[in-house]
Amino acid sequence: MREMTQQELADRVGVTRQTVIAIEQDKYSPSLETAFKVALVLGVPLEQCFQYDPRGKR
């Protein structure tokens, strides 16, 4: 699989690179629409990209 830069991912999803960084650092929970777009662009199932931890802050 070819590696993708944060900027490329951001451009294809339609968000800023800073938003991609915030999602990666678990500081921002994206909307469902953005989460689906990220999964679609990365070509992986949604649950592989995002997990919910009930013990965590999110």
Task: Name every residue whose Cβ is closer than 8 Å to that of residue 29 and which is 6 or more positions away in sequence.
Answer: 23, 58
The stretch near another protein (CB under 8 A) out of 20-28, 38-46, 49-57 is: 20-28
Q: Does 16 bind another protein (CB under 8 A)?
A: yes
Sign of the C-alpha dihedral, residues 50, 28, 32, 11?
A: negative
User: At its nearest, how many Å lie between another protein and the CB of residue 13?
Assistant: 9
21 is a site residue for another protein (CB under 8 A): yes
Question: Is the CB of residue 26 less than 8 Å from the CB of residue 58?
Answer: yes
Residues that bind another protein (CB under 8 A): 10-11, 14-19, 21-22, 25, 27-28, 30-31, 34
